[in-house]
Chain A
Amino acid sequence: MNRDSNLYTIVYASVMVILVALGLALTSQSLRSYQKKNEDIDKMMQILRSVRVQTTAADAEATFKSLIKESYLVDENGKQVEGDAFSTDYVKAFASKEALPVFVASIDGETKYIMAMSGAGLWGPLWGYMSVNEDKSTVYGADFSHQGETPGLGAEITQSFFSKEFYDKKLFNEAGEFKSIAIVKPGKTAEGQDYVDGISGGTITSQGVNQMILTSMGGYIKFLTSQKQ
């Protein structure tokens, strides 16, 4: 067989591509259920971390079921709409702002509202959750995740030292205007709104988080103000 003939080359390439495609499809299909489960559990752990509850992969599902009392979708006007809050696609949800997920948790007898966030960092998407107290302004907890931020730099937003900075910060000022929470360079301050320190060496990621809180929480303004007691 002449290994340099055009026919041989084309047939070889075609057969190789088909075999590899089959192999990859099989692998992907057979591992899909494990991956889906991991992703769901990871999501539950993120949501629970935003109400200051640390879980392990083993007990996340049970804890989630016992603490999260209710979940629903709200539109930009704060009205509830049809759909499942847990499985909704956040990126699409925040692009249209027609159905934003809300989880209602009961922590030590107090109601906490957990809202989702979606944004962009330096290398890829960012997302996270922020929970507020019953006054719907004071942050109870927060949690941030990313797809591809630089380990040791931007990726540090997932660490608890960063999310803990958000505790007891306020989304609304005294006059009831939405101000969001700013991420500033360590040592700097922000005028007229609550702020936390960003990550050294992760400036773009920190700015991404800042923008994400502003736009994502901005979508919940009506929900947060409409039912204020």
Chain B
Amino acid sequence: MGILTNKNKQILLGPLSKNNPVVVQMLGICSALAVTSKLEPSLVMAISVTAVVAFANVIISLLRNTIPNRIRIIVQLVVIAALVTIVSEVLKAFAYDVNKQLSVFVGLIITNCILMGRIEAFALGNGPWESFLDGVGNGLGYGIILVIVGFFRELLGSGTLFGYHVIPQAVYDFGYVNNGLMILPPMALITVAVIIWVHRSRNKDLQEN
């Protein structure tokens, strides 16, 4: 088994575009709406989800031949919840500010559909290395969308990026006003929808009739 065979490359890179968890598989939309009003929490959320989904995939993949079928969802949830708790504790110890900003959303990683989705659909039937790649790929695919949405919402909603003002004062003097609507959750939905629109018009094969 090669480290990066063609198949594995497909597993890792597929979720970034053609098989993206958010805009194609429609998983994890809920958290994509919640954390993206600023760029920084979007980025930290992306990293946290990538770490959790990758390791949860590996652990479940290693255990896949021992898990009793009747309680497999419970086992998956326990593994995910344990990993999320560890991520949250580590953030509290070493990235206190970010943890404070993300607040409830770290705990809500547990309910992120991408995790259960990937574990059920992939890790239960594949080896640990492929599962790890699948987890990283899907985490990154989710992260890309989060960062794109966060970028536009913070830029248009607050005129800042990572908390720094990027829209010059001169523009405001000219009569430009930050669009407060961008900060509200509905605009995240619309931003995601616009991304899906652009994505599908560039990839005709994804369009359904």
Binding site for B on A (CB under 8 A): 3-4, 8-9, 12-13, 16-17, 20, 23-24, 27-28, 31, 34-35, 38-39, 42, 57, 123-124, 146-149, 151-153, 155, 200-201
Contacts and interface: CB of A to CB of B under 8 A. Distances in A.
A24 B93 contact: no
Contact of A31 (B66, B92, B100, B104): B92
Contacts of B125: none
B67 interface: yes
Contacts of B68: 3-4, 8-9, 12-13
Contacts of A20: 78-79, 82
Contacts of B74: 13
Contacts of A201: 180, 183-184
Interface string B72-105: 0011001100100110011011101000111110
Contacts of A42: 96, 100
B137 interface: no
Given A12-B68, A31-B92, A151 B37 contact: yes
A59 to B, nearest CB: 15
Given A16-B78, A24-B82, A155 B94 contact: no
A3 B92 CA distance: 39
Query: What 8 pairs across the A-B complex have the smallest Cβ distances?
Result: A152-B37, A34-B93, A38-B96, A31-B93, A9-B68, A152-B183, A148-B104, A148-B103
B71 interface: yes
A38 B90 CA distance: 12
A4 B94 contact: no
Nearest to A11: B68
Given A12-B66, A20-B78, A34-B93, A27 B86 contact: yes
A7 to B, nearest CB: 10
Nearest to A39: B96
Nearest to B96: A38
B13 to A, nearest CB: 31
B82 A153 contact: no
Contact of B157 (A3, A35, A147, A152): A152
Contacts of A9: 68, 70-71
14 contacts: A4-B69, A12-B71, A13-B68, A16-B78, A23-B86, A24-B82, A28-B89, A31-B90, A35-B89, A38-B93, A39-B96, A152-B183, A200-B180, A201-B183
Interface string B55-75: 000000000001111110011
A92 B150 CA distance: 38
B38 interface: yes
A87 B190 CA distance: 46
Given A3-B68, A13-B68, A124-B104, 17 more contacts: A4-B68, A9-B71, A12-B71, A23-B86, A27-B85, A35-B89, A35-B96, A38-B96, A39-B96, A42-B96, A148-B103, A149-B103, A151-B35, A151-B38, A153-B37, A155-B101, A200-B180
Interface string B124-136: 0000000000000
B141 interface: no
Given A31-B92, A152-B183, A4 B38 contact: no
A153 to B, nearest CB: 7
B68 to A, nearest CB: 4
B104 A4 contact: no
Contacts of B94: 34
Given A3-B69, A152-B37, A201-B183, A35 B92 contact: yes
Contacts of A57: 96
A4 B158 CA distance: 55
B171 to A, nearest CB: 19
B183 A153 contact: yes
Contacts of B157: 152
B41 interface: yes
Contacts of B69: 3-4
B103 A24 contact: no
